[in-house]
Amino acid sequence: MKDKYDIVVIGSGIGGLVSAALLSSLGKRILVIEKEPKPGGYLTEFKNEDFIFDVSLHLLNGCAKGQYTYNMFERCHIIDEIKFLRPKYLYRSIFPDFDLRIPQMNLREYTEMLGDLFPKSRKGIKILFDEMSRIFQVVNSYFSSKRVTPLLLQRLTSNYKTMLDQHINDIKLKAIISQLWIYLGLPPSLLRAIDFCYPWFDYMNNGGYYVEKGSYEIVRALVSHIRNKRGDFLFNKNVGRILTENGFGRRIAFGKDEIFCDTIISNIDLTKTIFELIGSSKFSTADIAKIRNIEPSISAFEIFLGLDVDLSATYPDDYEIFVNTDYDIDKQYQDCLNNNAKSAPFVITVNSNVNRFAAPKGKSVVTIIMLAGYGHWISKSRGEYEDKKHKVAEILMDRAGKIIPEIKKNPHKKAVSTPVTFERYTNNAAGAIYGYSRTVGQKTEIRPNEMNNIKNLYFASAWAKQGSGVVKVLHSADDVYKKISKTVDAKL
């Protein structure tokens, strides 16, 4: 390790690793500093006996050859190390009156399936899906050429519910079409239309993918590439300060140590970077006011299960299963915020049906996730916290056992995470699993990839303006790479 680097990346989540991988190819001397003993942030796995549990990734979009995620991993020189697999169905969606398996890469079949179930809405479904596909195109053209169209502006400033209501009346159909709201962490009434439509179309039309050996495969490949390019890593080092001189961040302090650098990339919670690492006095009052308004996204409650039975024999078609008790998504969201496990929607993922390496022969790995408010878990005594954790897990396992009885009958290993666990592990405020909350009011300019006051500081993470989810974080890392490589070109 040296005491001066061209670039220091704070945090080794996917945004930090991808920016480091891209920039290391420019010959930059890079150091990644991570507070945990291992890299990856939310993209992590843990082992329990012979079971391997993937903590976050369920599905990835843009993975077919020539699409965005594929291209980014190619540019990071890791594409040969990653094998993308497509579950048979995109997902299964269970409602009180429906049990639907959604086809992969076949929007036409999905449109027909919904039209047959809701014949009176056939025309509305077609018009809605056409608009959602056009939104995907205009966002892509914004990414490639920064072209802003009237449709882009309109759907940036309106919520998804307004768009849905224009074309669909049936409340059941609206809930079925909006199932993927859970991946965005907000109900259609609060979520920006654009943030729903872009990933929705990408998943529906271009497919949902998983990684053969789980998401940590991506992390391992990135770390190995960065090391091959002579990049360094420091683990178990919690960055406490960024010290500035004349509007530039120059020294990164952790414990009693300091590292000098020319450029800094923050991969961690934006508000913590500003308020805790730098200090609000270094920014304009207007910027500070905007940043104080940033709301963290919802968090999650997650159960990791190793089962003594091979579910691929009995449920060969299932991977991602959404379970809903009703059609009122605003109510469902409130149930999640209140940790009302008896009626909140949740997701069962049969990980080992796609990742054959996750469980030993004859066994399975399953995760159960409920979006969960953070407030519910704080200021509880240790005993109360453990009691609550146990009760919520039992309720969700009972409910999941109604769909897959083996979940109750054959548990062998079990681990549970709450919003507090997620916060402790990543330092993301309120255990936010999707960075900031993507409501219409959370305007992009308050979530920058850079800030004028500290000229050599960049943000590549779920807190940057592109948004959360692996693909959006890749976009933020790419943006930061382009900005930094321009400064390199200018020096040459």
Ligand X SMILES: Cc1cc2nc3c(=O)[nH]c(=O)nc-3n(C[C@H](O)[C@H](O)[C@H](O)COP(=O)(O)OP(=O)(O)OC[C@H]3O[C@@H](n4cnc5c(N)ncnc54)[C@H](O)[C@@H]3O)c2cc1C
If phi over 0 gives left and psi between -120 and 50 gives alpha, with beta otherwise, what is residue 362? left
- Nearer of residues 41 and 373 to ligand X, judged by Cβ: 41
The helix-helix angle for 68-75 and 470-491 (nearest 10°) equals 40
User: Please, which residues bridge with residue 180 across strands?
Assistant: none
**Does residue number 57 form part of the binding site for ligand X (CB under 6 A)?**
yes
d(CA 220, CA 102): 32
Q: Cβ 256 to ligand X, closest distance in Å? A: 15
- Nearer of residues 34 and 195 to ligand X, judged by Cβ: 34
- Nearer of residues 311 and 470 to ligand X, judged by Cβ: 470
Phi, psi of 171 (to 5 degrees): -65, -35
User: Do strands 4-10 and 257-266 pair parallel, antiparallel, or not at all (unpaired)?
Assistant: parallel
d(CA 390, CA 402): 19
Residue 285 burial class via C-beta count within 10 angstroms: exposed 0-12, middle 13-18, buried 19 and up: exposed
**Does residue number 208 form part of the binding site for ligand X (CB under 6 A)?**
no
Choose among 293, 238, 337: nearest CA to 436: 293
- Nearer of residues 125 and 218 to ligand X, judged by Cβ: 218
Kindly list the distances between the CA atom of residue 155 and the CA atoms of 176, 270, 295, 476, in Å, as whole numbers in the listed order: 21, 25, 21, 21
- Nearer of residues 309 and 457 to ligand X, judged by Cβ: 457
Q: Which stretch binds ligand X (CB under 6 A): 53-61, 113-121, 151-159, 407-415?
A: 53-61
**Does residue number 462 form part of the binding site for ligand X (CB under 6 A)?**
yes
**What is the DSSP code (8-state) at residue 325?**
S
**Does residue number 36 form part of the binding site for ligand X (CB under 6 A)?**
yes
d(CA 24, CA 29): 7
- Nearer of residues 238 and 452 to ligand X, judged by Cβ: 238
Which one of 473, 474, 480, 484 is in contact with ligand X (CB under 6 A)?
Answer: 473
Beta strands in 122-240 (DSSP E): 210-211, 232-234
Which one of 323, 433, 454, 484 is in contact with ligand X (CB under 6 A)?
Answer: 433
Per-residue tokens: 176: 């079925």
Q: Which stretch binds ligand X (CB under 6 A): 73-81, 100-108, 135-143, 420-428?
A: 420-428
**Does residue number 305 form part of the binding site for ligand X (CB under 6 A)?**
no
**Does residue number 369 form part of the binding site for ligand X (CB under 6 A)?**
yes
Q: Which contiguous run of DSSP H or E holds residue 455?
A: strand 454-459
**Does residue number 43 form part of the binding site for ligand X (CB under 6 A)?**
yes
- Nearer of residues 47 and 382 to ligand X, judged by Cβ: 47
Q: Cβ 183 to ligand X, closest distance in Å? A: 6
Which one of 19, 23, 24, 56 is in contact with ligand X (CB under 6 A)?
Answer: 56
d(CA 295, CA 402): 36
d(CA 199, CA 470): 11
- Nearer of residues 259 and 369 to ligand X, judged by Cβ: 369
**Does residue number 45 form part of the binding site for ligand X (CB under 6 A)?**
no
Binding mask 213-242 for ligand X (x = CB under 6 A): -------------------------xx---
Q: What residue ranges bind ligand X (CB under 6 A)?
A: 10-16, 33-36, 41-43, 56-60, 238-239, 267-268, 300, 302, 369, 422, 426-428, 433-434, 461-462, 468-471, 473
